[in-house]
Amino acid sequence: MQSDARSFRKQFYGWLSYAFASEVFVIVSLTLFLPICLEQFARDNGFLMPDKTQSCKVDPAIPATLAEDARCVVKVGWVWIDTASYSLYTNSLSVLLQALTVISVGSIADNQSQRKRLLLTFAMIGALPVILFLLLPSSSPIWQISALLAILANVGFGVSMVALNSYIPLLARQSPEVVALARNDTLDESVEHTNEEPSNPNDDSAAPLLSSSNKALDGQSQEYEDTLSQATSRISSMGIALGYSAGIVLLLVSMVLVKALGGSTWSLRLAIGLSGIWWTFFSIPAAFWLPGKSSTPDSKSTDSRTTLSLVADSWKRLGAMLMPSEIKRLRNTFKYLGAWFLLSDGFTTITSTAMLFGKTSLHMKPQSLIIVGVLSPLCGVLGSLAWPTIQRRIRISNLKVVVVLVLLASAIPFYGCLGFVFQGRTRFGGLTTPGEMYGLAVYFGFVYGAFQGYARALYAEMLPPGEEARWYGLYAITDKSSSFVGPLFVGLISDLTGNIRYSFFFLTFMIWLAVPILASVNVERGKKDAREYRSPNHEREEFSADIQP
């Protein structure tokens, strides 16, 4: 028993170390420094409209206000685009490629013998390009490679997180309290087998965590499921909290460096490069402590499958889930995923657009944008703690809380739209001054932090029992990898109008569009459908087991 507990702690610390290492990239680079650094790269190589002959770099002979207010465009290939659009198009392409890659490696991530290798490989694919920003000045003739580096970094992060998250069920089943309960004499062997890592990737996602056929042990079975659920939540929450803490620490360090270096392009590259170094260094414990290959006969047989066959299997599994007949059987779950697609995309785009708006339209310095970047996650923690108390006092369901949070969040882009009314008429209002950005960062963090927690909890209520892994995979794809529509449209709007503020109309519409879809979800019906649901693959597996001699 002590040996099992020691093994669990080692693996758990390895898992936490990668959460601590990788989340820094999201908070420091992906959310904050990459968008403004890419825009700065484009600006350093761009020209002022309409003549496209005067460099966007501030010339002492040109009044600073004139240089700041003039529209800056850069030539990429044969096309002239707005410098803000360069960053947005890069982000849109990166998340699209991330989505395709994440889907393709689903079966590989479920394979115990290849999971660790997948995680470490894509960790390096992500971290190395981030570090290379240290060696790429904006004056380089190959400065456009910055977009490729950003794309590789985002894809590497996304895939490594799929591998990391696939460890959560295994760690939960091996946690001391779950193991102790599973070894109780009143539980039969089918419960004990849930502590073992399934070697077949299809079985891992389809097999229930506790056999529903064990009729005599309903009370103990429910206790086991509750304990397992609590262990899963605890492990996941600790990873998120540790990752956010690491990001805030490096953000504060970056703020000092950026301020000391006067907010130069080099200071932005330095902050990005430091996140890559952090990512690499703190991934080392994961390389040693996370479980790797298994020596069981079944795991050896899965090694014989080619990577191509595993990729094909991942797409087949996704295709089976998205068949019209399956969507009809779980219509409320899919309604929710449709709303989540719009909301996840919209909220992610609000973050990147706000940073670019603050830099290009409000002319905020990088050190000021860092403060905005710190305020949002800090208030996110406060919001996630405060809203459950608010919910208990006003006594509303999880669905109603989510709808309220969505409406509150939509006030941010709507407020930006009001700038067309207030600008030039008042000294304050409609996001026309830098000071308003700080207030909106506090407001957005308080709302968005709670929204993420409630959205995940509401989705969990409508999942088929025993098939949580594959459905959380679909949720992760929608959450992390589908947000390419928003940046793409915001980039197009910025190019066509020359004013990124117009994109706030699009973001308001995108979020409001999700509200009626979300409100139409019947959670109780969704729960009932989920309890009665079995996927075609799962039914075939049960039939095969029944006819075995």
DSSP for 384-430, written as a single string: HHHHHHHHHHHT--HHHHHHHHHHHHHHHHHHHHTHHHHBTTBSS-S
The answer, yes or no, to whether residue 42 has pLDDT greater than 50, is: yes
At residue 215, the pLDDT reads 42
The answer as to whether 184 is a domain residue is yes
The tens digit of pLDDT for each residue in 305-317 reads: 677 887 888 788 7
Alpha-carbon distances, residue 496 vs 73, 86, 244, 344, 543 (angstroms): 12, 13, 37, 25, 58
Residues 273 and 370 in one domain: no
Confidence of residue 466 (pLDDT cuts 50, 70, 90): low
Candidate from 45-54, 193-202, 341-350 with smallest mean pLDDT: 193-202
**Average pLDDT of span 109-129:** 88
The answer as to whether 532 is a domain residue is yes
**Average pLDDT of span 381-403:** 83
The answer as to whether 298 is a domain residue is no
Strand, coil or helix: 73: strand
Residues 196 and 334 in one domain: no
Matching residue, tokens 């086991």: 224
Task: Decide if 298 contacts 27 (C-beta within 8 A).
Answer: no
Task: Decide if 490 contacts 88 (C-beta within 8 A).
Answer: yes
Instruction: Report which of 235, 250, 30, 247 is spatially closest to residue 133, judged by C-alpha positions.
Output: 30
The tens digit of pLDDT for each residue in 155-182 reads: 999 889 878 877 877 887 888 888 887 7
**Average pLDDT of span 432-452:** 89
Residues 272 and 369 in one domain: no
The answer as to whether 419 is a domain residue is yes
When the pLDDT of each residue in the chain is averaged and rounded to a whole number, the result is: 80
Confidence of residue 3 (pLDDT cuts 50, 70, 90): low
The tens digit of pLDDT for each residue in 193-220 reads: 444 444 444 444 444 433 444 444 455 5
Task: Decide if 286 contacts 14 (C-beta within 8 A).
Answer: yes
- Higher pLDDT, residue 188 or 158: 158
Structural domain count of the chain: 2
Residues 392 and 279 in one domain: no
Domain boundary among 243, 278, 313: 313
DSSP 27: I
CATH code of residue 425: 1.20.1250.20
Dihedral sign (CA 168, 174, 180, 181): positive
- Higher pLDDT, residue 276 or 293: 276
The answer as to whether 535 is a domain residue is yes
At residue 473, the pLDDT reads 64
Dihedral sign (CA 57, 60, 62, 67): positive
At residue 51, the pLDDT reads 82
Task: Decide if 361 contacts 36 (C-beta within 8 A).
Answer: no
At residue 439, the pLDDT reads 92
Residues 6+ apart with CB under 8 A from 99: 158, 477, 481, 482, 484
Residues 460 and 514 in one domain: yes
Residues 23 and 172 in one domain: yes
The answer, yes or no, to whether residue 58 has pLDDT greater than 80, is: no
Domain boundary among 281, 313, 345: 313
Residues 278 and 180 in one domain: yes
- Residue type at 426? T
**Average pLDDT of span 129-153:** 95
At residue 436, the pLDDT reads 92
Return the percentage of the chain with pLDDT > 70, whole number: 80
Confidence of residue 404 (pLDDT cuts 50, 70, 90): very high
Residues 361 and 261 in one domain: no
Domain boundary among 313, 346, 365: 313
At residue 29, the pLDDT reads 92
At residue 62, the pLDDT reads 52
Residues 1 and 141 in one domain: yes
At residue 408, the pLDDT reads 94
CATH code of residue 50: 1.20.1250
Task: Decide if 263 contacts 367 (C-beta within 8 A).
Answer: yes
Residues 279 and 326 in one domain: no
At residue 206, the pLDDT reads 40
The answer as to whether 382 is a domain residue is yes
Q: Cα(36)–Cα(357) distance, rounded to whole angstroms?
A: 10
Residues 279 and 351 in one domain: no
- Higher pLDDT, residue 310 or 79: 79
Range of 155's domain?
1-291+308-313
Confidence of residue 185 (pLDDT cuts 50, 70, 90): very low
The answer as to whether 372 is a domain residue is yes
Q: Cα(323)–Cα(318) distance, rounded to whole angstroms?
A: 9
Whole-model pTM: value is 0.73
The side-by-side arrangement of strands in the sheet containing 79-82 is 47-48, 72-76, 79-82
Return the H-helix or E-strand segment holding 82.
Answer: strand 79-82
- Higher pLDDT, residue 27 or 537: 27
Confidence of residue 145 (pLDDT cuts 50, 70, 90): very high
The answer as to whether 518 is a domain residue is yes
Strand, coil or helix: 175: coil
Q: Which two tokens stand for residue 110?
A: 């479920």
- Higher pLDDT, residue 517 or 451: 517
Residues 407 and 522 in one domain: yes
The tens digit of pLDDT for each residue in 227-280 reads: 766 676 677 767 777 887 888 889 889 888 988 898 889 999 999 999 999 999
At residue 173, the pLDDT reads 80
- Higher pLDDT, residue 211 or 440: 440
